[in-house]
């Protein structure tokens, strides 16, 4: 067992534009409590927390003042640093935070997740128990409070909170809830491409190819619901474009195979939506009378995703760096 492991927490703020500050503040309050708990268990006290902004350097001071004033308890538990990457995208922000750390372990967290009790200690536990542990993957699930968010939780790619252990044990890498040995992660920074959420799949593939032992402790965190029809429509479209990018990078660059893949994948997703909503609806409390509309929303989501995937594969649209557009409706 390794006592006094040092760790740093990297929080990119790319998702902060989609949630109210009060929800972000809730995350910070929870982190303060969990850092205190980790310190009592002999993890190194006063960890670094890196907030990474996609903004100019002039924004750092005001952001730090806001965090300190609204979360004074956390300010007593950790050392804050604010990094700025002008116009930076999701993985660029994470890379900047990773490179700034100096601890044994790097914890990656997003601004729109709400950790459950024991999350931090559970996520760190593999490194304390095994000297050669490299990766610890938490379990993220979508929070839900109405019929639409319940439907989305069912057909989204996250596991459900109360899904059977067999499904959860196979969860892939989600970089809103994971931790890594810093030395290894510095040698495997996220590769930057046009995709919105592609690089976590590429890193996970590297982990598998290198034979990395992947620890999956019970480190649960709820992800805030995706709000607004415009945001949901854009998220469906970018999901499709990202699927073409992943297929090209991981499976095949063949134009013909890329064009055919959306049809096969769409059929699979339509079937998955139907089965999951019908069989898993009780896990999120979805009433049976909402099942038809939930299935319709799921099919609409993956139809739009498949259409965007097809357009990118055929060259109807050209790939460009993905940003959350200004027209998207935020919560």
pLDDT at 41: 86
**Within a 13 Å sphere around the CA of 132, how many CA atoms are in the beta-carbon half?**
3
pLDDT at 328: 74
CA angle (204 as vertex; 202, 205 as ends), nearest 5? 65
Q: From the first residue on, what is the mean pLDDT of each consecutive set of 10 residues in the chain (331 residues)?
A: 81 82 90 92 89 91 90 88 92 96 95 94 93 93 92 91 74 90 95 91 92 92 86 94 95 95 95 96 95 97 97 96 76 44
Give the dihedral sign, CA 244/245/251/252. positive
pTM of the entire predicted model: 0.92
- Residue 60, classed as helix, strand or coil, is helix
Give bridge partners of residue 319 from the DSSP assignment.
none
CA angle (97 as vertex; 93, 101 as ends), nearest 5? 170
DSSP 276-303: HHHHHHHHHT--GGGHHHHHHHHHHHHH
**Burial bucket for residue 51 (CB in 10 Å: 0-12, 13-18, 19+):** buried
Which residues are CB-neighbours of 200 under 8 A, at least 6 positions away? 172, 173, 174, 175, 190
**Within a 13 Å sphere around the CA of 141, how many CA atoms are in the beta-carbon half?**
20
pLDDT at 213: 92
Instruction: Say if residues 330 and 18 touch (Cβ distance below 8 Å).
Output: yes
pLDDT at 225: 86
pLDDT at 206: 92
Instruction: Say if residues 143 and 225 touch (Cβ distance below 8 Å).
Output: yes
pLDDT at 331: 44
Give the dihedral sign, CA 250/256/259/263. negative
Give bridge partners of residue 177 from the DSSP assignment.
109
């Amino acid at each position: 067992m390794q006592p006094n492991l040092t760790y740093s927490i990297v929080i990119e703020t790319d998702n902060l534009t989609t949630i109210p500050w009060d929800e972000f503040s809730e995350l910070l309050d929870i982190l303060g409590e969990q850092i205190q708990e980790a310190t009592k268990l002999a993890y190194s006290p006063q960890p670094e927390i890196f907030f990474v902004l996609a903004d100019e350097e002039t924004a750092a001071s005001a952001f730090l003042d806001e965090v300190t004033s609204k979360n004074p308890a956390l300010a007593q538990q950790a050392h804050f640093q604010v990094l700025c990457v002008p116009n930076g995208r999701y993985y660029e922000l994470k890379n900047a935070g990773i490179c700034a750390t100096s601890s044994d372990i790097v914890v990656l967290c997003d601004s729109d997740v709400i950790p459950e009790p024991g999350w931090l200690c559970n996520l760190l536990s593999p490194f304390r128990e095994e000297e050669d542990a490299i990766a610890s993957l938490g379990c993220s699930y979508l929070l839900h409070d109405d019929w639409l968010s319940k439907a989305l939780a069912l057909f989204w790619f996250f596991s459900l909170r109360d899904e059977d252990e067999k499904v959860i044990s196979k969860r892939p890498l989600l970089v809103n809830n994971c931790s890594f040995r810093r030395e290894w992660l510095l040698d495997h920074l996220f590769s930057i491409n046009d995709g919105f959420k592609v690089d976590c799949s590429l890193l996970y593939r590297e982990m598998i190819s290198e034979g990395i032992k992947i620890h999956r402790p019970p480190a649960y965190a709820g992800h805030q619901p995706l709000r607004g029809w415009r945001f949901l429509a854009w998220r469906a479209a970018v999901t499709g474009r990202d699927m073409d990018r992943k297929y090209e990078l991981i499976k095949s660059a063949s134009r013909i195979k890329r064009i055919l893949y959306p049809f096969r994948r769409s059929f699979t997703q339509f079937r998955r939506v139907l089965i999951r909503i019908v069989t898993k609806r009780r896990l999120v409390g979805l009433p049976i009378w909402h099942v038809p509309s939930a299935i319709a929303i799921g099919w609409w989501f993956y139809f739009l995703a498949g259409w965007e995937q097809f357009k990118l594969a055929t060259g109807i649209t050209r790939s460009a760096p993905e940003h959350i557009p200004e027209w998207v409706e935020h919560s």
